[in-house]
Amino acid sequence: MTTLAPQPATSALAPPLQDAQGRRMTYLRLSITDRCNFRCGYCSPASWGGKRDLLGPEELERITSVFARMGIRRVRLTGGEPMIRPDILDIARRIASVPGIQHLAITSNASHLERLAVPLREAGVTQLNLSLDTLCAETFRRISKQGDFAAVLRGIDAAAAAGYASLKLNVVVMRGVNDSEAPALVDFAHARGFVLRFIELMPFGQGTPVPTAELVEHLKASGLPLELEPDDAQDAATAGPARYWRAPSGRVGFISPLTQNFCGGCNRVRVASNGDLRSCLGGRAQAPLHQLIRGGATDVELAVAIRRALGDKPEGHRFTEPGNGATLLSMMGIGG
């Protein structure tokens, strides 16, 4: 692994923001809560109690501003379920107004969107990624022991009607649970103007993954024509780890952390809901940005800490190493 030379303090805030492998970071995933009104087995273990010392709107804005000065252009608010925060609209307005931030997205279970879809768009949110693992109420209850399935469907329809620039539905695929629903989920998403993305189950919780290649063949066998998009078909400003295929009714994406490792193109850094910077989804290394802020650190000192943490970012995740799943935090604790 190549270690970057130490940054002079005077240049710590200047872009580019790079990790130990020289990958340029342009995308911040900012968790604003690790609590959720659902309890999906692959994301939130029953024992998860949640952090109490969450960052406030001003602190979230401050951290985003520092990252923006270093070259971050996209921010995604994650959780837990970010929309359970009563100050979500204030947070969204603050983040959207930070100079340099060009895209503000939210990942959500959609259960609060019936009332929030339009206000969030007016607050500056440009993209919603919504979770929908099944179209069956019984399967929903199997995946999540709590949560309002009808509210999810109403929220998705409200988002579709609200005029967002980009809408995506995310499906975590689990063998024997919801894999047979893949064709129906494509139809559901495309009928409402969403891009559908299937995600290989990662080793954070319960369930058995379905490899992407197998799922693609299943969709083709169901009668859905799929044609792989060329690499240059994606918008560079909003590109992520998904690999997209084109169907007559719209796009279908596949995020394949296990079988088609996406780490080589990583452009993201994560901050957990208590302010811990986590350089990698598959590790425990962290930098306590909240302690620095509350201790009176300057923006330069925050930038130095961020660069130091990214200097420890590994070349790739270690999900497939034997026994590593037991050492990982839950998806809920990391911030997705």
Q: What was the pLDDT predicted at 207?
A: 83
CA-CA distance, 4 to 179, in Å (whole number)? 43
Residues 6+ apart with CB under 8 A from 38: 44, 81, 109, 111, 144, 146, 147
- Asked whether residue 260 is domain-assigned, the answer is no
pLDDT at position 312 is 80
**Count of structural domains within the chain:** 1
pLDDT in tens, 142-154: 999 889 999 999 9
With cut-offs at 50, 70 and 90, classify the pLDDT of residue 318.
low
Domain membership flag for residue 248: no
Of 280, 287, 283, residue with least CA distance to 23: 280
- Tell me the pLDDT band of 84, cut-offs 50, 70 and 90: very high
Residue pLDDT, tens place only, 202-240: 776 678 999 999 999 999 999 999 999 997 666 554 557
How many C-beta atoms surround the C-beta of residue 7 within 10 A?
Answer: 16
Position 316 in a domain:
yes
In this predicted structure, the answer to whether residue 25 has a pLDDT above a threshold of 70 is: yes
Supply the range of the domain harboring residue 75: 9-168+266-334
DSSP H stretches of helix in 228-323: 289-294, 299-310
Q: Is residue 242 part of a domain?
A: no
Residue at 246 is within a domain: no
pLDDT (average), residues 84-95:
98
Residue 110 has pLDDT above 70, yes or no: yes
| Residue 282 pLDDT grade (very low, low, confident, very high; cuts 50, 70, 90) | low
Instruction: Identify the pLDDT of residue 223.
Output: 97
pLDDT at 327 over 50: no
Report the range of poorest mean pLDDT among 39-43, 190-194, 248-252, 266-270. Answer: 39-43
Tens-digit pLDDT profile for residues 242-256: 999 999 999 999 998
Angle at 98 between CA 97 and CA 99, to 5 degrees: 110
Mean of pLDDT over the chain: 87
Position 13 scores a pLDDT of: 96
| Average pLDDT for 63-81 | 97
Give dist(CA 302, CA 296) in Å, integer.
10
The CATH number for 284's domain is 3.20.20.70
Bond before 16 cis per omega within 30 degrees: yes
Domain assignment present for 150: yes
Classify residue 44: in a domain, yes or no. Answer: yes
Residue 203 CB partners (closer than 8 Å, separation 6+) = 319, 324, 325, 328
